């Protein structure tokens, strides 16, 4: 009997997990609107900048949860069976398939309301969704 290795060439599956893990870390999956807004912001930034989603979700200057010093960093180790993570994964998959509408009004940057990064001082935010402020 001969066996052949079947390889999955769909790289979006791994990307969806990475997006979901980051979105979970940033939002704690506190609400569906917050998860959808942050996920659509990632897509908006990719569309407007030409930077790949994979590169965007690796950027520590955009996502503080990627930094070891962040209080949100421990959430990056969420179990894949966590219900909140599963919600983030469904939204990430929807975004990658093109089925997630723009839930953050075209925003390409964000920060949590408990901080004020230097880049945001001279800008006005366009949306406050679940404790995250979104900017163009």
Q: By residue range, what is the domain housing residue 92?
A: 12-102
Q: How many domains does the chain have?
A: 1
Residue 9 pLDDT > 50: no
Q: What is the pTM of this model?
A: 0.89
* Tens-digit pLDDT profile for residues 58-99: 999 999 999 999 999 999 999 999 999 999 999 999 999 999
Position 127 in a domain: no
Query: Is 1 inside any structural domain?
Result: no
User: Among candidates 11, 14, 65, which has minimal Cα distance to 38?
Assistant: 65
Does 110 score more than 50 pLDDT?
Answer: yes
At residue 2, the pLDDT reads 66
Residue 38 within a domain:
yes
In a domain, 2, yes or no: no
Please state, in angstroms and rounded to a whole number, the distance separating the CA atoms of residues 13 and 119: 33
Q: 101 - beta bridge partners?
A: none
- Say if CB 57 and CB 19 are below 8 A apart: yes
* Two structure tokens written together for 32: 């569906």
- Residue 109 maps to a domain: no
Which has more pLDDT, 13 or 58?
A: 58
Question: What count of other Cβ atoms lies within 10 Å of the Cβ of residue 61?
Answer: 9
Q: How many CB atoms lie within 10 A of CB 29?
A: 22
Domain contains 81: yes
Does the pLDDT value for residue 105 go beyond 80?
yes
6 pLDDT higher than 80: no
Q: What is the largest CA-CA distance in the chain?
A: 68
Asked whether residue 93 is assigned to any structural domain, the reply reads: yes
Is residue 63 domain-resident? Answer: yes
How many residues in total does the chain contain? 136
**Contact call for residues 45 and 57 (beta carbons, < 8 A):** no
pLDDT digits (tens, 9 = 90+) for 14-41: 999 999 999 999 999 999 999 999 999 9
Angle at 130 between CA 124 and CA 134, to 5 degrees: 25
């Amino acid at each position: 009997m001969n066996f052949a290795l079947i390889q999955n060439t769909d790289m979006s599956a791994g990307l969806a997990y990475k997006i979901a893990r980051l979105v979970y870390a940033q939002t704690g999956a506190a609400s569906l609107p917050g998860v959808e807004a942050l996920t659509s912001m990632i897509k908006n930034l990719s569309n407007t900048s030409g930077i790949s989603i994979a590169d965007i979700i690796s950027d520590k200057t955009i996502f503080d949860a990627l930094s070891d010093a962040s209080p949100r960093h421990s959430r990056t180790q969420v179990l894949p069976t966590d219900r909140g993570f599963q919600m983030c994964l469904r939204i990430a998959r929807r975004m990658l398939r093109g089925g997630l509408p723009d839930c953050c009004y075209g925003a390409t940057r964000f920060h949590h309301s408990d901080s004020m990064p230097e880049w945001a001082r001279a800008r006005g935010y366009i949306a406050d969704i679940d404790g995250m402020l979104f900017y163009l």
